[in-house]
Amino acid sequence: MFRVVISLITLIMPLRLSAQDGPIEELDLLLRDISTLSADILQLIVESDGGILEETKIQMRLKKPNRFYWETIDPFPELIVTNGALLWNYQPDLEQVTIEDWNSDNSELAAQLLNGKTDNLSAEYYIVVINSEETKSFELSPKMNDNIYNTVSITFINDILDMIHLDGKNGEQTVWQFNNLVMNSPIADSLFEFIIPNDIDVIGNTTN
């Protein structure tokens, strides 16, 4: 399953939240002013006993609407990129690229949220906010049993995204730690267009 995921906020002005704002409104305020994002991500796959199964270094770029660039640097190179219409999954070690139609509704929850899709959260999740002096964590618990997650946690430190933690029902946990975040710096559209190298296999799974 493609893990297209994202990052958040550096050099952001403090946000003013009224006493009437609920969890969704608070989360929306933290996400709404993003047009582009860049970050280095450390992804950890954690087993049920707490052991680290996999550690991956990733470079991520996001440009609204629906443009994502997700490059795995280490240990195994891979690139997932979409221009909002097509998605390319390039695996240089296998010398192949798979092309699929992009549907933001089928993307990872974290990708949907950071792309500004918070409308359906209250229908699908119970949401609470846990505040400390500098940290704000949004804890999402699914309302339906068929959800693949037990909980989803999104943590901000001083209103800057720090971590996303996905607790899967299969006992596996995924953690994204965000570093070197930059918000709203110009990113060229050409970054989200994949140029297919010569002499590689092309697997087309598009409807057109």
DSSP letter at 87 equals: E
Give the model's pLDDT for residue 15: 32
Q: How far is CA 138 from CA 11, 58, 71, 128, in A?
A: 21, 24, 27, 6
Q: What torsion do the CA atoms of 87, 88, 89, 91 make, to the nearest 10 degrees?
A: -170
pLDDT recorded at residue 103: 75
| Residue ranges per structural domain of the chain | 23-205
Query: What confidence score (pLDDT) does residue 171 get?
Result: 87
Helix, strand, coil shares of the chain, percent, nearest 5, are 10, 45, 40
Structure token digits, residue 108? 């990872």
pLDDT confidence of residue 17: 34
Q: How would you list the strands of the sheet with 67-74, edge to edge? A: 125-131, 135-142, 149-157, 160-168, 173-183, 36-46, 52-63, 67-74, 78-82, 86-91, 96-101, 201-205
SS3 of 105-135: HHCCHHHHHHCCCCCCHHHHEEEEEEECCCE
Q: What are the 10-residue block averages of pLDDT along the chain, 208 residues in total?
A: 32 31 77 84 89 92 90 93 93 94 70 66 85 89 89 88 89 91 92 94 82
Q: What is the pLDDT of residue 65?
A: 82
Alpha-carbon distance 142 to 160, whole Å?
Answer: 25
139 alpha-carbon distance from chain centroid: 16
- pTM equals 0.78
Q: Which CATH number fits domain 23-205: 3.50.50.60, 2.50.20.10, 1.10.630.10, 3.30.530.20?
A: 2.50.20.10
Residue with tokens 């959260």: 121
- Alpha-carbon distance 134 to 66, whole Å? 31
In this prediction, residue 48 carries a pLDDT of: 81
The pLDDT, as a whole number, for residue 106 is 60
